[in-house]
Amino acid sequence: MIRKIAISICVLAFLSGCVPTKRLTYLQESEDTGSQYNLQRTNYKVQPNDILSITIRSYDLETSQLFNRNDVNQQSGLQAGDILFYLQGYSVGLDGNIELPVLGSISVLYKEISEIESLIEDGLSEYFDEEAVFVSVQLAGIRYSVVGEVNNPGKYVIYQNQANIFEALALAGDITTVGDRQRVMIVRQTNEGAKSFYLDLTDSKVINNPNYFIYPNDVINVQPLPQKSLGIGTTGFQTFTQALSVVASTITLIIAINSLNN
């Protein structure tokens, strides 16, 4: 009787507590044939709280300096870094506007970078000859947050124009062993409000997903696997040793109960 109970506990613990390799491996695909991926790159539309880096250049250096914050900050000796981007950049207000020197308020809400460059160029036309001015607009980094089952949750910035979900998670120390790689939640701000969706990072087809690339202000939420709440173990060896401990305790309890009955 005791042997049957012990075996049942070990089997149940092993089956329920061990995390399968398929739940831990990224970008799985068939070994017979390779895959070709079609990256769904989309043009980002600016949202409130984004920070834009805007540079205006022309042959008239004195006039150019009126429009460039970075020239002033460089003369002040500010050090490069995230604070510099914040101070030099133009924050998009809740009303979707930015405030440019001389030009004043410009609406950039839900506009693409190329559209914003055209707006600024139109505003500069009365100060510069059209062919003598150069306008460059960029996102001052992709700011996002990672929460849940990652090794280093927190807020991060990637200084690129585009970044994918794996790059974002790599900065956060990757997903833990008990994190669910098949249902990674992303909460994103859109012009229709906040939306959430899920990515299966164990499937190589995720590269074809249009949400493969993260956006500024995204929140990445990695949810736990059931094994975490069970608390049995994440590897076969951990599960086996913990199951043995449970079996030993159970046998001791049964023997104690039998001795009392006798």
- Summarize the confidence of residues 161-174 as an average pLDDT: 95
Could you tell me if residue 233 is inside a domain? Answer: no
Tokens of 225: 């696997």
Could you tell me if residue 156 is inside a domain? Answer: no
Q: Are residues 216 and 245 in the same domain?
A: no
Tell me which residue has tokens 């990445």.
220
Could you tell me if residue 6 is inside a domain? Answer: yes
In tens, the pLDDT along 177-203 reads: 999 999 999 999 888 889 999 999 999
Least trusted range by pLDDT, from 15-19, 55-59, 97-101: 15-19
pLDDT score of 167 more than 70: yes
- Greater confidence (1 vs 162) lies with 162
Could you tell me if residue 43 is inside a domain? Answer: no
Q: Are residues 87 and 132 in the same domain?
A: yes
Could you tell me if residue 231 is inside a domain? Answer: no
Cα(218)–Cα(163) distance, integer angstroms: 12
Q: What is the pLDDT of residue 214?
A: 96
- Summarize the confidence of residues 222-239 as an average pLDDT: 67
Q: What is the pLDDT of residue 72?
A: 44
Cα(134)–Cα(64) distance, integer angstroms: 10
Look over the chain and give the mean of its residue pLDDT values, rounded to a whole number.
80
- Final residue belonging to a domain, choices 139, 174, 197: 139
- For the domain that residue 93 is a member of, what is the CATH number? 3.30.1950.10
Could you tell me if residue 208 is inside a domain? Answer: yes
Q: Are residues 55 and 132 in the same domain?
A: yes
- Greater confidence (72 vs 158) lies with 158
In tens, the pLDDT along 23-40 reads: 889 999 876 656 778 888
User: Pick from 150, 172, 176: which is nearest to 163 by CA?
Assistant: 172
Could you tell me if residue 84 is inside a domain? Answer: yes
With pLDDT > 90 as the criterion, what percentage of the chain qualifies? 43
Cα(243)–Cα(235) distance, integer angstroms: 12
Domain containing 242: what range? 2-19+238-261
- Domain total of the chain: 3
Q: What is the pLDDT of residue 14?
A: 47
In tens, the pLDDT along 110-156 reads: 999 999 999 999 988 887 766 678 899 998 889 999 999 999 999 99
Cα(72)–Cα(94) distance, integer angstroms: 26
- Final residue belonging to a domain, choices 90, 107, 139: 139
Tokens of 64: 């150019």
Confidence of residue 13 (pLDDT cuts 50, 70, 90): very low
Q: What is the pLDDT of residue 57?
A: 84
- Greater confidence (112 vs 228) lies with 112
Q: What is the pLDDT of residue 161?
A: 86
Q: Are residues 75 and 119 in the same domain?
A: yes
Q: Are residues 56 and 117 in the same domain?
A: yes
Per the CB < 8 A criterion, the answer to whether 101 and 64 are in contact is: no
Q: Are residues 118 and 59 in the same domain?
A: yes
- Summarize the confidence of residues 13-17 as an average pLDDT: 49
Could you tell me if residue 96 is inside a domain? Answer: yes
- For the domain that residue 217 is a member of, what is the CATH number? 3.10.560.10
Q: How far is CA 177 from CA 110, 115, 173, 225, 236, in A?
A: 38, 44, 12, 9, 13
Cα(160)–Cα(150) distance, integer angstroms: 22
State pTM to two decimals: 0.75
CB hemisphere CA count around 256 (13 angstroms) = 6
Q: Are residues 64 and 80 in the same domain?
A: yes
- Greater confidence (75 vs 255) lies with 255
pLDDT score of 240 more than 80: no
Per the CB < 8 A criterion, the answer to whether 163 and 220 are in contact is: no
Per the CB < 8 A criterion, the answer to whether 63 and 128 are in contact is: yes
In tens, the pLDDT along 64-89 reads: 777 776 554 444 444 455 666 777 78
Q: What is the pLDDT of residue 89?
A: 84
Q: Are residues 71 and 135 in the same domain?
A: yes
Q: Are residues 214 and 250 in the same domain?
A: no
Tokens of 134: 């150069």
Q: How far is CA 131 from CA 59, 119, 125, 185, 211, in A?
A: 10, 15, 9, 46, 38
Cα(224)–Cα(150) distance, integer angstroms: 10
